[in-house]
Structure 1
Amino acid sequence: MKLSLVVVTVLLTVGVAYYIYTPIPAAIEEPFKLMLMDALIRAVLQVDNLCQSLGMRPLNPSFSGASSEPGTLDKMAGGHGVGVRVSDVDFDGVPVRVYEPPVTGGGEGGLRRAVVFYHGGGWTFGSTKKGGYDIFCRQMSDELNAVVVSVEYRLAPAVHFPVQYEDCLRATKHFLEPGVLERLSVDPQRVAVSGDSAGGNLAAAVAQEISADDTGVRFSVQALIYPVLQGLDFHTPSYIQNQNIPILHRYLMARFWLLYMGVDPSLSPLLLSPAFLHNPSIPPSVRSRINWTTLLPPKHIKHHKLASKDTGSHVATKPEVEFLPGLLDVRSSPLLAEQGVLGRTPRALIITCEYDVLRDDGLMYGRRLQDAGVKVTNVHYDDGFHGCCFAQWPFSFDVGKRIVSEYIDWLQENL
């Protein structure tokens, strides 16, 4: 009996260790913490897949490690955001959380800055109302003396593109109405749009749309934190280099894109095929806008080469790629926008991390914005990885704190 118990214990220990362990680059600090966080996310997503396969309601994990109780949030935010007024309201039918700083006024005529923020989560999970995003928005409102509007857009698989984008655009247009800005004492010349990961995707897309309207209030800056900006090329140097780096594995990003498109994620091998980018339905002009051999600096290109259409599986055709029009839409893939569209967008902060499959998306977008005449601040973290910013205890990371600090400093100076 005792021997059996020992054997079971050893097997369980080995199994758990095997499940948790993932090779981590030496440049990443706190590697064991990252392994644990990655294992938790994988476990939750696997449970979520099981729930969906059984017809049960899907989960909406936040991976934040923090509750939404005010006292808990105040402690975990290190005192930031104490006194910030928080209101849950609807903007044109879209739920938003509005953060108002404790200090009234802040600029000419007593008007304040404002930031419209969209949370990340692969368009499929996450919430502005709890955990790391709530803490971050409280901190941002407090330190910038800004009104922060965080949009609770609907999520896949219940809805798919373009619903998430349309929710963000509709709520944002409502906020930018003169009467709403006046009621919240917001300076219409000092409004930013921002987001991280999938939220950065939404922020870039909404910025392009708002910038095309000469009749209304326009953003003065856009601040994108490790944004996802295209779903056609999964063979950029960063996708290859970081394909197995936590927490955003290459296969997981493909899954998120398919869920966003409303497609069965089992088709992810199509997206991951080297031949996918050479599908005849993708015009050469589109390929040129994501040609990383001309858009990335040599230090990131290294030894990597463009995927050949003769490499890997066949070039997928209809009906296999019925979702391709969605991936070609600039509302889902802002990196594909024409130069004229990019040139109308506001000056930008783009934050990228070395150990992130999305690193090259951000770097290419920064280059294309600069080529279009937009002033861009690129901040790159050699020890950064995807998702490091808004994780909270017990999964908070020093590099994430540094990123948030520099992000807020940039807005302090530029907004």
Structure 2
Amino acid sequence: MLLDALFRSFMQASDAAHALGVCHRVHLLNRVVSWVEVVEARSCPAVNVTDTTLGGVPTRVFHPRGENKLRRGVIYFHGGGWALCSARMRSYDRLCRKMAEDLDAVIMSVDYRLAPEAVFPDQYHDALAASRALLSAELLQQYGIDPQRVCVSGDSAGGNLAAAVAQELSSDDSLKVKFKAQALIYPVLQALDFYTPSYQQNQAVPILYRPYMARFWLQYLGADSSLEPLLLANNHSSLDQLAISATTRSKLNWTALLPAERKKNFKPVVKEKGSPGVVGEVPGLMDVRAAPLLAEKGVLGKTPKAYVMTCEFDVLRDDGLMYGGRLREAGVEVTSDHYEDGFHGCMVFANLPMMSSVGQRSVRNYIRWLDQNL
């Protein structure tokens, strides 16, 4: 509750600064985050930590000390709505240190470019470039990573990037090394339906409010913020949007893709008439690189086995549940890890001072899955 109050206060302050022309709202928020959270790359007895680049993209590398042997490798993309946070944040630094130590694995935490300076597909291209570099024979040998045991992972917006990268590289027959697994933590995967049951149920639940998610999407896609009310009303995906086919709609038809206990008594909100032309104005809404849930079944079927974590009190819950279901339909082995007491971002609350039971459990189970499947 304290964190939510602080976050909302900073959001309002950033909106005021933006309106007054002092600075962009995202810059103020990131300045606060950096002041509180960003830490230097400091090694410890168990893990050597260095800042470098991977495919030209800034990356923090966590390499276990000890005997010279081939280790597992994980490339990780942080969350933050494609606009906030950093691999250098204390929260992600701690998570990656723990992963490196507990798994005896090399962890690559990528600092992709952020909005508003960078917009789609810049973040995607950074994630893809870093991933391609990691899978190269040269980098695998340099860091002592077993080419048969490499995973792509990320949380929230980073889970979006991880899913998109997994789709792209799994379909690239020119690659000699591919990911063995994908681990997606409360990923954001579509922007056509802002009335899924989880969006309706959790629209005012901290820390990711429904309007914030629409704003993050518009910033990521380089679209005008004035479109936010249209997205929140589902006017952008109305039936008179001819660019959205019935096949596309079926890929996020939660009435068919979600179990009854998640649908509850919520009803779909599909407008007969909305705001024609929005999809043409914001083509990223239909681009599978931005919205991995819209991928074809054949593409999904080529992706590696998956871990999909979802939280009950999260507007993005149903994105992850639908994606897990579509992956299974495509023949992919999927482990669904759902937390009835979970909330968006809970995994970074595994340490003091913002420590929570669900945060600790989620980290523990995530690392256990990686240990057993990578």
TM-score (norm 1): 0.84
| Aligned-residue offset at 1:102 | 1.6
Give the equivalent residue in structure 1 for 2:304.
Answer: 346
For 1:211-250, what aligned pairs fall within 5 Å after superposition?
A: 211-216=170-175, 217-250=177-210
Describe the superposition over 1:317-366 as per-residue Cα deviations: whole angstroms up to 9, x where unpaired: 23x55443101000000000000000000000000000000000000000
Over 3 Å counting, the alpha-carbon distance change for 1:322 and 1:55 in structure 2 is farther
Q: Distance in 2 between matches of 1:374 and 1:101?
A: 31
For 1:4-19, what aligned pairs fall within 5 Å after superposition?
A: none
Q: Distance in 2 between matches of 1:277 and 1:328?
A: 10
Give the equivalent residue in structure 2 for 1:68.
Answer: 39
Q: Distance in 2 between matches of 1:128 and 1:68?
A: 10
| Aligned-residue offset at 1:64 | 10
SS in 1 for 2:65: coil
- State yes or no: 1:86 paired with 2:81: no
Q: Distance in 2 between matches of 1:157 and 1:67?
A: 20
| Aligned-residue offset at 1:66 | 4.6
Describe the superposition over 1:373-406 as per-residue Cα deviations: whole angstroms up to 9, x where unpaired: 0000001000000011113533222211110000
Q: Which moved more, 1:38-47 or 1:320-329?
A: 320-329
Over 3 Å counting, the alpha-carbon distance change for 1:265 and 1:394 in structure 2 is farther
- State yes or no: 1:56 paired with 2:56: no
Give the equivalent residue in structure 1 for 2:2.
Answer: 36
Q: Distance in 1 between matches of 2:203 and 2:34?
A: 21
| Structure 1 segments unaligned to the other structure (5+ residues) | 1-34, 75-80
Aligned residue-pair number: 365
- State yes or no: 1:267 paired with 2:230: no
For 1:296-335, what aligned pairs fall within 5 Å after superposition?
A: 296-310=258-272, 314-318=273-277, 320-335=278-293
Q: Contact 1:64–1:390 (CA<8 Å) still a contact in 2?
A: no
Pick one of 388, 393, 402 that aligns with 2:346.
388
Describe the superposition over 1:143-175 as per-residue Cα deviations: whole angstroms up to 9, x where unpaired: 101111111001001111000000110111111
Q: Distance in 2 between matches of 1:215 and 1:309?
A: 43
For 1:109-124, what aligned pairs fall within 5 Å after superposition?
A: 110-124=69-83
Corresponding letter in the other structure for 2:169: I
Give the equivalent residue in structure 2 for 1:254.
Answer: 214
For 1:79-158, what aligned pairs fall within 5 Å after superposition?
A: 82-105=45-68, 110-158=69-117
Tell me the C-alpha RMSD between the 2 structures: 1.8
Q: Distance in 1 between matches of 2:280 and 2:45?
A: 49
Q: Distance in 2 between matches of 1:389 and 1:87?
A: 23
SS in 2 for 1:86: strand
Q: Distance in 1 between matches of 2:234 and 2:260?
A: 22
Pick one of 120, 142, 148 that aligns with 1:189.
148
| Aligned-residue offset at 1:45 | 2.2
SS in 2 for 1:377: strand
TM-score (norm 2): 0.93
Describe the superposition over 1:52-74 as per-residue Cα deviations: whole angstroms up to 9, x where unpaired: 33142613154896552578xx9
Describe the superposition over 1:261-296 as per-residue Cα deviations: whole angstroms up to 9, x where unpaired: 112323211111144322222111110100001100
